[in-house]
Amino acid sequence: MSGRRLFEYDPHRGLRIDFEPLEGGKFALHYSQDVEPLLDHNKACQGESLNRKSEFRHYASVPVTVQYQWIKDYGVDPLAPEHQDLLTRLLNSNEWRYLKTQEVII
């Protein structure tokens, strides 16, 4: 049985998906992502002024790998409207505050 091998790579998001064959014809997909550029962007946005005149605001940028982790750990789908309350609690928590692009309580 051979080890992991590259299945797909998205350079724009820094997302890598590796394929690992398992016994019995099964397989596993492993996701990894370079999130440093996104976190640096979020931090830079936090320093910007909040005096923008718009009904729409960009409150957070969440890496794909974190979205997968939230689905697995909390059962929350970040794109599902019915999970908005849990998503808001996660983003307002100290653990995930670095994903926000503004220093506000959502």
Cα–chain-centroid distance for residue 78? 9
Which residues on neighbouring strands pair with residue 20, listed in sequence order? 28
d(C-alpha 88, C-alpha 79), whole Å: 12
d(C-alpha 106, C-alpha 58), whole Å: 11
Segment 58-89, tens digit of pLDDT = 889 999 999 999 999 999 888 899 999 999 99
Considering the chain, what is the average pLDDT of its residues?
88
The domain ranges of the chain are 1-34, 35-106
DSSP letters spanning 81-106:
GGGHHHHHHHHHSGGGGGGBSSSS--
Rounded average pLDDT over 1-10: 87
Tell which residue, 91, 86, 96, 95, has the closest CA to residue 106.
91
Query: pTM of the prediction?
Result: 0.74
pLDDT of residue 57: 78
Segment 16-64, tens digit of pLDDT = 999 999 999 999 999 999 999 999 989 888 877 665 566 677 889 999 9
C-alpha to C-alpha distances, 4 to 7, 10, 15, 30, 53, nearest whole angstrom: 9, 17, 16, 9, 49
